[in-house]
Structure 1
């Protein structure tokens, strides 16, 4: 019972503030994820009983890959039309205008996956949404029939969500892989995602992120997990196997795609034997600029959320 969240002002050193008039008992040794779940339990004290978590909060509870988020992200919830909509620093609360189909994770109510994406589409950029859709598809969280029904409606956010839905492959194991795929889409480089390759004798060499159509080029995202000792040993064995074949592997990191896209585009164009087109580079930079992978994109979102919550000081919000 000592761990139950409470409403009221915090006057003791052994408690910490979640939002105005909302607190938790301090506990040492908990992970960031465990603290996140505790904070959501606290938020339920000020939310109507029928409320559900949605947007980035719901996506995080479902275990989806997320784009690069600002340091401070509010909690997102949705309430029924007849219920009061609480206003607290750190909480963005919207109205449910359709029949609810809540699901539960960790004992917490969550909006339907397609509704989570629609609410995110009203804030996030195209690149951000593709990352979330790829992850949701890979986890089999999306019903294609319900998605098509939603995309055929005229609800706010549908246009952006439809474009992201048409771009997503559902075959990306990380946010970085989704970014790499979209870089190739913008450059007009056809590819197959998550392809098993074999040597001349039919032995499996492994699965590659992108197989460039009509070539022997393999393009992969080299994320942080490749620096793990066990993964590094696996990567080296696979690279030795590839070295004895006609395949040519190229690895890319996020810094290449976000900060040096011109150099990467020129490298890919030379390998394909085609001329450079600056319009492709401009299109990619616009896509990044409108996403949370740019400083301006993150600042724009934070300012919008501040207006929605009336925040003056984010330093102690959940």
Structure 2
């Protein structure tokens, strides 16, 4: 997509600028009175009757802009959320990430990770806030998160057509920090996956050396469309799908039952997998898939998958390691 078309595609979203309501203007300085919430040292927000979490988050970002230089843009996972990309399982409390011009001061405050811009960013605005270029955002995230986490972001960014593949190719050849993880995740990514959990299931298939086609339309023997499957195992009639909590909802469950009845007279065979299956019982899932495909088990496949999980936010040790890295990056202690 050309730059002009990309701008037009996002124009409506970019113009939805956040504006604080009456009485919501952030306050710089120390406030001891009741009715104020602390964002960080010397930065407060008046209490608001609106408890919408998105509006609250927007208010906090707006407050941060009051203590940042004009060149500041949001980046890393803060920009990921502003772009509206799917995200992996994140800790409940995470910092705010910004990047500033190399000549500007770099604020150090509790809850803020500030880094330098290596080049002049584009004029990207999402939900009314300045954000770094998508390709640079992915590279910054790749310096912290694992391949499995990053595939989720890339799949979503590609699906939304936010990524300029030419600029991404330049970054992948640059040798900059994070490129190795970004390149590995990009190789495993696919724009047709429609959710974070589909991305996880897709990576599991790749680790198991099982080629699949995502979001494939399925037809009966008469050529009638009977539905669409998350993944069709290439060269077979096996349809593998993610079964999450939404599928246990009564309405969704009835829909799934009707869908399965529609498949009953077709050669397709559906298998559903949950996140618990993939994270806590991967050997069982591998054996099921291997038996269905009539092949031998290969231990290196399960080791490959466990390494991907261990380095991701889906592993408890991996989460602690990443959170500790963010704490060190902030470089400040709790202000009193």
Q: TM-score normalized by structure 1? A: 0.96
RMSD of aligned C-alpha atoms? 1.4
Residue 60 of structure 1: aligned partner: 81
Q: 8 Å contact 2:108–2:332 — kept in the other structure?
A: no
Question: How many angstroms apart in 2 are the aligned matches of 1:311 and 1:83?
Answer: 19
Asked whether 1:189 is paired with 2:213, we answer no
In the other structure, the counterpart of 1:113 is 134
Corresponding position: 1:278 with 2:302: no
Q: Find the counterpart in structure 2 of residue 214 from structure 1.
A: 235
Q: CA deviation at 1:60?
A: 0.3
Partner of 2:185 in structure 1?
164
Offset of residue 145 of structure 1: 1.1
Answer yes or no: is the 8 Å Cα contact 1:10–1:16 preserved in 2. no
Does 1:298 find its partner at 2:333?
no
> Could you list the runs of 4 or more consecutive aligned residues of structure 1 that deviate by over 4 angstroms after TM superposition?
none
One of 42, 52, 56 as aligned partner of 1:21: 42
**Partner residue of 1:96 out of 117, 130, 142:** 117
User: Whose relative contact order is higher, 1 or 2, with alpha carbons under 8 Å and at least 6 apart?
Assistant: 1
Aligned length: 315
Q: Determine the structure 2 residue equivalent to 1:202.
A: 223
- Gaps in structure 1 of 5+ consecutive residues: none
Query: How far, CA to CA, are the matches of 2:123 and 2:182 in structure 1?
Result: 20
Describe the SS at the equivalent of 1:131. Answer: helix
2:199 corresponds to: 178
CA contact (8 A) 2:102 2:117 kept: yes
Query: Unaligned stretches of 5+ in structure 2?
Result: 1-21
Partner of 1:3: 24
Q: TM-score, normalised by structure 2?
A: 0.91
TM-aligned CA deviation for residue 164 of structure 1: 0.9
Distance of 1:39 and 1:224 partners within structure 2: 31
